[in-house]
Amino acid sequence: MRQNPKTINFNKISVSEQWNFPTQKEELIHRIHAYPAKFPAFITSKAIDYAIDKGTKLNTIGDVFCGCGTTAYEAKKAGINFWGCDINPVATLIAEVKSESYNIKSLQKTKESILKVYDHICDDGVEMDEVNPRIKYWYENEQIQDLFQLKEAINLVKRNNSSYKKFFLVAFSNILKPTSRWLTKSIKPTIDPVKVPAEVRAAFVKQVDFMIKAFQQSKTVEARPSIEIETTSVSKLSDKDINLDLIVTSPPYVTSYEYADLHQLSTLWLDYTSDYRTFRQGTIGSVHNHVEFEKDVKALNKTGEDIVFQLYAKDKARARNAARYYIDMQNVTNLSYQKLNKKGYAFFVIGNTEYKGVQINNAKHLKEAMYQAGFRYLKVHKRKISNKILTPYRDKSGKFTSSSTGRKIYAEEFIVIGKKTRV
């Protein structure tokens, strides 16, 4: 049934069984690298089926917040071309590797070569005075020495920036938190004072073996679709000559943790930056973006305006951030509409949050923005976020907890669907 964005009560939407559980077990390849706020792969596969059932011919699928490449891989598996972007170079590195095809024997051979070089490097020791202070903050000296040695071994074995080098850089990236003092399973950057960091070589071997197993088990198709992934902001979408038939994406939340902060270990170790804070600039949802509040407020849709003014009474800085976020998301929906072909569909996966008693209804704002952009046949489905069902709170460190003394989080998210009916 078509839903009117002005009358729908988001609090009364029941959980949809269709979008709540997968029909089959998720492939290992979706776990080759930890990534925050990653949505389950079956949402993309079901979105593909949904669009095809509605009569949409799928030539190219897009993801404007492509993250670690969940949609990219599922498009490839379905034999459909893909275009995606993300402002985070760590995300696009993972996405490129996940959607690549590898010769398993070549991966095994390269792994052995890297380990051989690692074991025989004549290491005179890293000059700790020259190490980035932020790296020294997170690591013990032993791990710093070993990680530099491992990175050098990867670069010596694979000197050019090939897909095989990227494979082992992803493996390197995913052991950076286990080998550090980062609090395990916390999405908020926090040092664990009692943690014993993992040994670098053993962690790397375990990670590479897991990735090789994942690619051995990955589903392959005869078709070789085009996969294009760009490291750029969604705000640059208007400059791109792309035509999409289906968009499946998951935007950040207005009150989410800083993604730049969460990926700081990888951005530093992979030499994407010497100061991870530079990646906060231009990131949707960042509290560090500069804003013109009075200008932003005038451009907000009704839902965004209501939320922002409720926040303003509680926290003026957060209200300014929310205003900029909602303007950015209104631009995202406009750009997404422009890049879709007629009869194309957009699927946005987004959750609601709460801040100082104010309900942050991101899904409602997004649906209103989609309607104003031109999308029709709008529908909203609610699904449970499985790892939050029994732990609806976070403690001060950002870890999930069942204690009601922690900060309450939402255990559901919404899938907002819209169709482009006009050119």
pLDDT in tens, 113-137: 999 999 998 666 788 889 999 999 9
pLDDT value of residue 321: 86
Please check whether residues 355 and 237 belong to one and the same domain. yes
Please check whether residues 109 and 167 belong to one and the same domain. yes
Please check whether residues 88 and 117 belong to one and the same domain. no
pLDDT at 251 over 80: yes
More confident residue, 123 or 206: 206
The answer to whether residue 3 sits within a structural domain is no
Rounded average pLDDT over 207-228: 91
Determine the Cα–Cα distance for residues 56 and 344; give it in Å rounded to an integer: 6
pLDDT value of residue 389: 38
170 is in which domain, residue-wise?
Answer: 104-217
Please check whether residues 237 and 343 belong to one and the same domain. yes
Binned at pLDDT 50, 70 and 90, residue 397 comes out as low
Most confident residue range from 1-10, 123-132, 309-318, 408-417 = 309-318
pLDDT at 399 over 80: no
The answer to whether residue 302 sits within a structural domain is yes
More confident residue, 296 or 414: 414
Please check whether residues 175 and 305 belong to one and the same domain. no
Please check whether residues 167 and 186 belong to one and the same domain. yes
pLDDT at 89 over 80: yes
Please check whether residues 41 and 62 belong to one and the same domain. yes
pLDDT, tens digit (0-9, with 9 covering 90-100), for 51-72: 999 999 999 999 999 999 999 9
Rounded average pLDDT over 179-206: 93
pTM of the model: 0.91
